[in-house]
Amino acid sequence: MELKPVNACHDCPIRHSAVCAECDADELKVLERIKSYKTVPAGAHLAEAGREMEFLSSIISGCATMSRTLEDGRRQTVGLLLPSNFIGRPGRASSPYDVEAISEVTLCRFERKAFEDLVRSTPHIATRLMTMALDELDSAREWAVVLGRMSAREKVLSFLVRLARRNAAQMGQDAPEDALTLHLPLSREELADYLGLTIETTSRQFTALRKDGLIELPSNRDVHIPDFDRLAIEAGEDEDGGLIA
Amino acid sequence: MELKPVNACHDCPIRHSAVCAECDADELKVLERIKSYKTVPAGAHLAEAGREMEFLSSIISGCATMSRTLEDGRRQTVGLLLPSNFIGRPGRASSPYDVEAISEVTLCRFERKAFEDLVRSTPHIATRLMTMALDELDSAREWAVVLGRMSAREKVLSFLVRLARRNAAQMGQDAPEDALTLHLPLSREELADYLGLTIETTSRQFTALRKDGLIELPSNRDVHIPDFDRLAIEAGEDEDGGLIA
DNA sequence: CGCTACATTGAGCTCCTTCAACGACGGTGG
DNA sequence: CCACCGTCGTTGAAGGAGCTCAATGTAGCG
């Protein structure tokens, strides 16, 4: 994740996967005029439920979560935001969820009003946003199946499979390597909030998967998967491949 | 739900809430040329996971569910499709979910290729699709909170609150009436699949809510809510209003 | 070295599921 | 007309997956 400072779009690591992916050179110039970069430390709040947002932004590097906390403290993470993901939406001033930086995050920001005008005048941005929204919709529904019907073990397995697929896709690979090591962007507690479990149950499942030889745990944040296909089968994969992240 | 045959867009009950909502008269003429109506009986499969779709369509009347069935038979419904909802997406030939008519459903259909061309050439359709996708994304995430963190009782309450809000919105009301009667579009089993519960637990929760005086059950498919605000509070509403459907 | 934050492990309990029986309703056919 | 049957919904009893509460373990850091 070591990143040299980005100054221009043609240097940008998410140039071809973010909201600007379909833009041509002229459109990119307009974007370039209204964009600004910002790096925030882990723990920063990028949006708060109900609070007005001044900027819409793309994640260039780092990781953030989108979550809802109920008043009794229960919390559910509804999205894991990684590079190229978009925060905020045109046509609405506030996010319905809290968005929090989990690691240091570098953003490419657009002042909201200016971006909304741009969406109207630049079809390539509107169609790209539509595609991204539809992809995320599939992903959210996919996750609903996990939350609604899967056991704790399957939830953890599904998470690992999705993360591996997402990483592979970002590296331009078609499928994850046979054997690979994942770095977990989330702590056990953050993971539990994502999986709809408690931290204890999550931890127990990691231990159980280790004892079953499906994973190794070189550190708390690293998971080595000796045989990805076996993991995917255990996760309950029928369709070969499934959707990415 | 008694519906007289629709023949032209200006007569259409979903004219101002469907994918065509932002279209002007000229754009509507183009749509009119490629659209066709179709009515299917309850139980019809409007899409099957992985199978190619010939048409994209809007629901004009009736109700459908979008769901995934795992090979061991577990099933999770990830979306409840009501009038004005769109089935399918441009740029992808197949749906990742099964879409099934729950009641008789009347559709406004577009041949896929023709519609995809139209999206590219008609910005008002692209922006409307984007807005609808973003709304559904919020809705799907909202439901993830319910699936991941709520008790059986809260799940049933949340469903009733959402259904009431969605009905009210469709009637052009700002909020549901103080006292109202809901017609459930789903059987107990279909509801259980949506809530991530078993049919037995779902049934028990209805009984419990009735005993607590929160609802009355004039028939299996009808729920009378004497005091909507009380129901909403029981459902764990902090924010006044929340998102629609 | 002790402090703090994070992760793991254990024991008991709760809520939901599972398995099973029963009830209500509607259609069909004798 | 009513017995029969199928579907759907409700209710009961027992078991289990995951939660809660609590203790222990471990790594980073002043």
Residue type, A51: R
pLDDT recorded at residue A242 = 45
DSSP state of B92: -
| 8 A C-beta contact, residue A169 and residue A244 | yes
Dig out the tokens for A95 from the structure: 């996010």
Residue whose token pair is 């459908």: B64
Length of chain A: 245
B150 pLDDT more than 50? yes
pLDDT tens-digit series, residues A19-72: 999 999 999 999 999 999 999 999 999 999 999 999 999 999 999 999 999 999
B148:A147 CB<8 A: yes
DSSP secondary structure string, A192-217? HHHHTS-HHHHHHHHHHHHHTTS-EE
Say whether the CB atom of B38 is under 7 angstroms from strand D.
no
pLDDT tens-digit series, residues B189-200: 999 999 999 999
CA distances from B225 to B82, B215, B235, B244 (A): 21, 5, 13, 18
β-pairing verdict for B105-111 and A98-101: unpaired
- Cα(B51)–Cα(B6) distance, integer angstroms: 29
A243 pLDDT more than 60? no
Binned at pLDDT 50, 70 and 90, residue A197 comes out as very high
Protein CA at A219 to nucleotide C1' at D30, angstroms? 23
Topology of domain A150-234 in CATH is Arc Repressor Mutant, subunit A (1.10.10)
pLDDT recorded at residue B6 = 61
| 8 A C-beta contact, residue A168 and residue A225 | no
Q: Classify B9-141 by CATH class.
A: mainly beta
Q: Which CATH number is A9-139 given?
A: 2.60.120.10
- Chain B partners within 8 Å of A75 (Cβ): 149
pLDDT tens-digit series, residues A148-191: 999 999 999 999 999 999 999 988 899 999 999 999 999 999 99
Say whether the CB atom of B189 is under 7 angstroms from strand C.
no
B137:A140 CB<8 A: yes
B141:A66 CB<8 A: yes
- Chain A partners within 8 Å of B91 (Cβ): 131, 134
Say whether the CB atom of A152 is under 7 angstroms from strand D.
yes
A76:B149 CB<8 A: yes
What DSSP element (H or E) covers A57?
A: strand A55-61
pLDDT tens-digit series, residues B152-169: 999 999 999 999 999 999
The pLDDT > 90 percentage for chain B reads: 86
B59 pLDDT more than 50? yes
pLDDT recorded at residue A213 = 97
Task: Pick the closest to residue A181 from A134, A142, A136, A231 (CA basis).
Answer: A231
**Domain map of chain B by residue range?**
9-141, 151-234
Q: Classify B151-234 by CATH class.
A: mainly alpha
